[in-house]
């Protein structure tokens, strides 16, 4: 576990194994991004679900715009998360600073999806290395995966802060190749975000999309042979 926060790490190659490591997106894939708001849904009332969805959308928008406008505009994902929450609070007229603080604390310690611990244990039992490649800053990843109780089931947590740009920039996906010492073609990339899956696929990864809400296919992923799962419980069996 000495490599958990992204120091160079090399999985031990398994002769004849088609996939030598699985690389997961974090937010929305292993971690439930809406669990933060759901813990305080009673304080937000009927708008809680919409509030959470807009917070997530604005968070991603801020990351993309900062990437597109150049390195001098880069701020880490925690800053994007805080700025996005401030925007959504103003839009919904939420002025309770105690609630804002509680929502941010909850986002630092997100819940994992229910099937994730067992899935990661199954990968560990099969001796398949599992890593995370995320927009999240290192402290966000350490806090969230520690809280979820699954940090010890992951071999590496890779943050985009190592390259200073967010997904879907190609340099982020190259980071996984550099840090894990494997070509993209020997790794399975797993994400709940279609745009993330599309970018990883374009970078040469084998991909699986997690489609928990039965959303329509995007970017022609289905036509390019990217499987779609409703959750992660069946993933270890697919790799076998």
**pLDDT (tens digit per residue) in 4-47:** 544 555 555 565 678 999 999 999 999 999 999 999 999 999 99
Per-residue model confidence (pLDDT) at position 141: 98
44-83 pLDDT, tens digit each: 999 999 999 999 999 999 999 999 999 999 999 999 999 9
pTM higher than 0.75 = yes
Per-residue model confidence (pLDDT) at position 7: 52
Mean pLDDT, range 188-200, rounded to an integer: 98
Cβ–Cβ under 8 Å, residues 3 and 156: yes
Per-residue model confidence (pLDDT) at position 239: 86
Beta-carbon count within 10 A of 215 CB = 11
pLDDT at residue 114 greater than cutoff 50: yes
Mean pLDDT, range 166-182, rounded to an integer: 97
Provide the b/e sequence for 148-181 (b: ≥16 CB within 10 Å).
bebbebbbbbbbbbebebbbbbebbbebbbebbe
Q: Which residue has the tokens 């036509």?
A: 223
CA gap 201, 185 in Å, rounded: 9
Q: Mark whether 50 is an active-site residue.
A: no
Mean pLDDT, range 113-136, rounded to an integer: 97
Per-residue model confidence (pLDDT) at position 5: 47
For the chain, give the percent of residues with pLDDT over 90: 91
**Terminal Cα distance for the chain, rounded:** 24
- Which domains are present in the chain? 21-32+111-239 (3.40.50.1000), 35-108 (1.10.150.240)
Per-residue model confidence (pLDDT) at position 2: 37
Per-residue model confidence (pLDDT) at position 13: 55
Out of 25, 76, 111, 155, the active site residue is 25
């Amino acid at each position: 576990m000495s490599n958990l926060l992204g120091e160079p790490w090399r999985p031990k190659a398994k002769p004849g194994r088609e996939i030598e490591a699985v690389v997961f997106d974090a937010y929305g894939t292993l971690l439930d991004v809406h669990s933060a708001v759901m813990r305080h849904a009673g304080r937000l009332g009927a708008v809680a679900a919409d509030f959470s969805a807009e917070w997530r959308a604005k968070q991603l928008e801020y990351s993309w715009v900062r990437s597109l406008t150049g390195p001098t505009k880069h701020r880490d994902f925690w800053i994007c998360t805080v700025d996005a929450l401030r925007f959504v609070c103003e839009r919904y007229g939420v002025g309770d600073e105690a609630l804002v603080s509680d929502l941010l604390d909850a986002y630092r310690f997100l819940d994992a999806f229910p099937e994730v611990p067992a899935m990661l244990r199954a990968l560990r039992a099969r001796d398949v290395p599992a890593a995370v490649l995320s927009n999240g800053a290192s402290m966000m990843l350490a806090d969230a995966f520690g809280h979820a109780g699954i940090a010890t089931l992951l071999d590496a947590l890779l943050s985009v802060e190592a390259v200073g740009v967010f997904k879907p920039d190609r340099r982020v996906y190259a980071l996984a190749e550099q840090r894990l010492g494997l070509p993209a073609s020997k790794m399975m990339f797993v994400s709940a975000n279609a745009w993330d899956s599309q970018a990883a696929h374009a970078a040469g990864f084998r991909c699986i999309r997690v489609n928990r809400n039965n959303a329509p296919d995007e970017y022609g992923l289905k036509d390019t042979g990217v499987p779609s799962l409703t959750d992660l419980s069946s993933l270890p069996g697919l790799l076998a």
